[in-house]
Every structure is written in structure tokens, then in C-alpha cells.
Amino acid sequence: MEEASVNIPAAPISLPEGSWKQIAGGVTTAKGFEAAGMYAGLRASGKKPDLALVTACAVLINPAQANDTQL
């Protein structure tokens, strides 16, 4: 897979009120996530990546283990 260009301008950070904490890094800073960007022809200019895919890796995340609080 070809690596995407990384010259996409950052979007403004807009979080609702709450106990959120901004961490340094990108979308894949949190363990268990992968991301890719590519050109799909969605932008009129056609010069920058315009499609992103973010996935949670099932190998690293076990939903049954993460959500089971009944002992």
C-alpha cells in the first residue's frame, strides 16, 4: 500500500464541554487504531488526499474483555 501525503491542514479542534483531554499526536496515537488517507476524487482541486479510513484493530482490542464488568 502506498503511503499517503501528510500535507493536509489540521481541522479546528471543536470539543463539547466535558472532561476531555487533548493529547499530542495524530489519530493513531491511541493504541489499537490504524489510519490511512488517499486521493478519491472528492475535492474539486484533486491535489490532496480527500478520503480517510480509521479502524480499530480487532487483534489488539477484545470487546468482551473490555466491556465485561460482571464478576
Domain with 58, as residue range(s), is 33-63
25, part of any domain = no
Q: Which residue has the cell 489519530?
A: 27
56, part of any domain = yes
The answer to whether the CB of 50 falls within 8 A of the CB of 57 is: no
User: Could you give the number of structural domains in the chain?
Assistant: 1
Q: Does the CA dihedral 14-18-24-27 come out positive or negative?
A: negative
Mean model confidence pLDDT for the chain: 72
Convert the pLDDT of each residue in 35-64 to its tens digit. Answer: 888 888 887 776 777 888 888 876 655 555
Task: Report whether pLDDT(32) > 60.
Answer: yes
23, part of any domain = no
47, part of any domain = yes
42, part of any domain = yes
Note the pTM of the prediction, 2 decimals: 0.43
8, part of any domain = no
59, part of any domain = yes
